[in-house]
Chain A
């Protein structure tokens, strides 16, 4: 038996408070969603800015490398070819001078022949450096073989090259690998003062892997300062083009070991 009867006033108050509570909660929730959206959008924009910044930096790096490459080619052309062709041109002017003895003519022509031969050889070398014809015609394996031979003949370094992979003829991808090896070998000689270099291509459970080692002076691979050079950045971006991974191990006086997949 219900003895208490609830006063109407009380009932109205309860209903009023409940509806007030929910109205305020609803308003607060709407404000909350509004500000949350704003915050998330702002965060998203910041992220996009970061991506743009990164792309800008990459573009910058590309332009810098391009300029450096141009400078190098210009220097090569100037030093090795232009200077020689200049002398050739001088000599030909001498030939057209009157009253030349037979011996003088022979000496001048010999000079010209020698110099043009040298200029030809140099231009061949420059072109070769830019893109080896062997690589273009016979693929990566032959290209690397020739690269090793070149290093052995001209730069007093012993190379050991071993290949266990049958390369297909995807020349674009192979060019990246070739350039990475070129950069690594140049670094080994220039910075590492290496006298022996090992290169091996192996098939690790279906993943093509390249092992590179030298016996140079190495560097401290834990120090991140050593990984910010333009050459290293270049290698990194090439590996990312190949959808591969790269691992660089080095200690001072213990050479360098690089493993990358492609």
Chain B
């Protein structure tokens, strides 16, 4: 019961984030288009996974799709935020190479994509952490934009990557221990989503109120 409450509250916060960021994007033209698409993508993925779960299907293919999509969208998102040419080139090249490598892996052994693909998880999450650190570096002397989102993202990725990496391992554990890791993961996602919401309140809510008055 408690687990379900936790999981559904993450969905709710994610939905709220999607709504408020889309509002900022469509009405004010302010929020970053790639970030809004990332939130929409997250929501679609969560919804499909939930649907699979209820239909009794395995949803691991969606987990792997989620990781790849997350890497692509956040990569483009940080690429659009940075103004430094060398960083833009690095992001583009690393994204292409990563996708290429994953495509080769899929070609060689597509069964990896129906369980927790360790290589893919490590690669995608590492790249996002690196992009996020780029953004931190750029924010040292400039105005903060998407600061709390990036803080939340790095926090979430560092913690959850380990949880995903032991995913295959936890499948074999007894059901009580098995769910413990996923409850922890849901909790981490909830915190991450709250960071995103807080970021919106900090940087978009105030300006929209100011515009009205």
A contact residues vs B (CB 8 Å cutoff): 2, 4-6, 10-11, 13-14, 17-18, 20-21, 24-25, 28-29, 32, 35-36, 39-40, 43
**Residues of A close to B130: CB separation below 8 A:** 28
Name the contact of B172 in the complex, choosing from A6, A17, A39, A40 (C-beta under 8 A): A6
B137, B141, B165, B174: the one within 8 Å of A18 (CB): B165
The 3 closest A-B pairs by CB, nearest first: A4-B172, A17-B118, A32-B133
B168 within 8 A of A: yes
User: Binding site of A, secondary structure by majority: helix, strand, loop or mixed?
Assistant: helix
B140 touches A36 (CB 8 A): yes
Please give the distance in Å from B61's CB to the nearest CB on chain A.
19
> With the chains together, A35 CA to B137 CA distance in Å?
8
Contact with A along B109-149 (1 / 0, CB 8 A): 00000000011011001100110010011001100000000
Q: Do the beta carbons of B125 and A14 come within 8 Å of each other?
A: no
Other-chain residue from A4, A14, A21 in contact with B126 (beta carbon distance below 8 A): A21
Report whether B122 and A17 are in contact in the complex, using a CB–CB cutoff of 8 Å.
Answer: yes
Give the interface size class of chain B: 20 to 34
| Bound: A152/B168 CA distance, A | 97
Query: Which residues on A sit within 8 Å (CB–CB) of B136?
Result: 32, 36
Q: Is B51 an interface residue (CB 8 A)?
A: no
Assess whether A25 is in contact with B171, with CB atoms less than 8 Å apart. no
Known: A28-B129, A29-B133, A32-B136. A11 touches B122 (CB 8 A): no
* B165 and A14 contact, CB distance less than 8 A: yes
- Asked if B174 contacts A2 (CB within 8 A), the reply is yes
B118: which of A14, A24, A29 is its contact (CB, 8 Å)?
Answer: A14
Please report the number of residue pairs spanning A and B whose Cβ atoms sit closer than 8 angstroms.
Answer: 56
21 example contacts (A-B, Cβ-Cβ < 8 A) are as follows: A2-B172, A2-B174, A4-B171, A6-B172, A10-B169, A14-B118, A14-B165, A14-B168, A17-B119, A17-B121, A17-B165, A18-B166, A25-B126, A25-B129, A32-B137, A35-B137, A36-B137, A36-B140, A39-B140, A39-B141, A43-B141
| Set of chain B residues within 8 Å of A39, measured between Cβ atoms | 137, 140-141
A14 in contact with B141 (CB, 8 Å) = no
**B169, chain A: closest CB distance, angstroms:** 5
Chain B: minimal CB distance from A40 (Å): 6
Closest chain B residue to A5 by CB distance?
B172
Q: Which residues of B are found within 8 Å of A35, using beta-carbon distances?
A: 137
Least Cβ distance of B207 to chain A in Å?
A: 27
CA distance A10 to B137 in the complex (A): 37
A2 touches B140 (CB 8 A): no
Chain A minimum-CB-distance residue to B175: A2
A residues near B168, Cβ cutoff 8 Å:
6, 10, 14
* Cβ-closest chain A residue relative to B125: A21
> Cβ of B173 < 8 Å from any Cβ of A?
yes
Q: Which residues of B contact A10 (CB under 8 A)?
A: 168-169
Q: A4-B172, A14-B165, A18-B166 are in contact. List 18 more A-B contacts (CB 8 A).
A: A2-B174, A4-B171, A5-B172, A6-B169, A14-B166, A14-B168, A14-B169, A17-B118, A17-B122, A18-B162, A21-B122, A21-B126, A21-B165, A24-B126, A25-B158, A28-B129, A39-B137, A39-B140
